[in-house]
Chains A and B, each alone.
Chain A
């Protein structure tokens, strides 16, 4: 064993920060969840084993991305004052993130549908909390 191994810290702490671009939208998670939904549809309609294998791999990636986007919304966008005003948001995000894990391992289209519906509930809170105005860059038509 080298001396550096002995001295290496056992605990990791974060001192650096996210660079907060400030753009947060549940739509990002929804698009990934929609991908899962459509992939399961295509998987069930196919008889091609190679295609089905690829479909499973890609669905798992998409479900993981959906989970990431939900985590970012919860940890970076929703602030204590939002939680105070809309206390349901913590459970909505928590359950939706868990549903992403379920969709990862599932080929039941109902699980993907449930995930989309859960993200829509998060979207309702995000909209009530002023998300569209606070976080998105306006389209050209809206600026004119």
Chain B
């Protein structure tokens, strides 16, 4: 998900803010191994399902591998980064 997210970023994720929208970075379980959480961007929403894609398509494991994800499974949207401090700010 670089450059939007980097390894080790500390983020605030919230369920507040109404329905999820295309373009938002969301926290969702990997449908193949639900204990593993992933952060990906919503590329499309169709009914109750959304397609999640990474920002680096060549290197991303996303809906192209694990299929669409139910909107109900999403744990929240990534709102802002609070560490590292020099990259503090809204996502």
A contact set with B: CB distance below 8 Å? 7-9, 11-20, 74-76, 79-80
User: Is A14 touching B82 in the complex (CB atoms < 8 A)?
Assistant: no
What's the tally of chain B residues with a CB closer than 8 Å to chain A? 28
User: Is B59 touching A14 in the complex (CB atoms < 8 A)?
Assistant: no
B contact set with A: CB distance below 8 Å? 1-2, 5, 7, 9-11, 13, 27, 30, 32-33, 36-40, 54, 56, 59-62, 65-67, 82-83
Bound complex: CA of A17 vs CA of B1, how far in Å? 8
User: Is B83 touching A7 in the complex (CB atoms < 8 A)?
Assistant: yes
User: Is A20 touching B61 in the complex (CB atoms < 8 A)?
Assistant: yes
User: Is B60 touching A17 in the complex (CB atoms < 8 A)?
Assistant: yes
User: Is A14 touching B37 in the complex (CB atoms < 8 A)?
Assistant: yes
Q: Of all chain B residues, which has the CB nearest A9?
A: B10
Bound complex: CA of A15 vs CA of B10, how far in Å? 12
Bound complex: CA of A24 vs CA of B91, how far in Å? 36
Chain A residues near B38 (CB-CB < 8 A): 13-15
Could you tell me the distance in whole angstroms from the C-beta of A91 to the nearest C-beta in chain B?
Answer: 14
Which residue of B37, B54, B60 is within 8 Å of A11 (Cβ)? B37
Could you tell me the distance in whole angstroms from the C-beta of A25 to the nearest C-beta in chain B?
Answer: 18
Chain B residues near A16 (CB-CB < 8 A): 1-2, 7
User: Is A14 touching B39 in the complex (CB atoms < 8 A)?
Assistant: yes
Chain A residues near B1 (CB-CB < 8 A): 15-16
Bound complex: CA of A76 vs CA of B82, how far in Å? 32
User: Is B36 touching A14 in the complex (CB atoms < 8 A)?
Assistant: yes
Q: Of all chain A residues, which has the CB nearest B57?
A: A17
Bound complex: CA of A14 vs CA of B34, how far in Å? 12
